[in-house]
Amino acid sequence: MKFAILVNEGPYTHQASDSAYQFAKAALAKGHELFRVFFYHDGVNNASRLTVPPQDDRHIVNRWSALAQEHGIDLVVCIAAAQRRGMLDENEMKRQGKDANNIAPGFRISGLGQLVEAGIQADRLVTFGD
């Protein structure tokens, strides 16, 4: 089965990101395909390369980055939600005239069309968070 995942909550404010990550790992381990993970609303904060959790805590951003690298998963961050929360990749940094970017490796910024495409291409779109 081909899955797509929608994450609507931040990495340390709600269990949605942890649950989505565990679901993704379990689905891949069972031989399913993961078409895309789309981060929306506060879920875009899962893509911040500036996240620095305590050493004895899980590093959710790094987990997503590693999973994407290992399995070739498309991690997409909603551009409108990201900009509202100060999340910029290098292209948006330049376009907006800013002096820094903060998107973690493996993530990319794009529009809601990527969520629509994920819903069309996948057999199931699983949502985590409100």
Domain positions in the chain are 2-128
Residue from 54, 61, 51 nearest 7 by CA: 61
Average pLDDT over residues 98-127: 97
Whether 78 is a known active-site residue: answer: yes
The residues that bridge with 3 in the sheet, in sequence order, are: 34, 124
Query: CATH number for the 2-128 domain, one of 3.40.1260.10, 2.60.40.1190, 1.10.10.10, 3.90.950.10?
Result: 3.40.1260.10
Q: Which of 44, 75, 78, 82 is catalytic?
A: 78
Q: Which two tokens stand for residue 17?
A: 């990101």
Q: What percent of the chain has pLDDT over 70?
A: 100
Q: What is the pLDDT of residue 29?
A: 98
Q: Give the residue from 87, 85, 77 showing the smallest Cα distance to 17.
A: 77
Query: pLDDT at position 23, please?
Result: 98
Nearest residue to 50 via CA among 109, 127, 105: 105
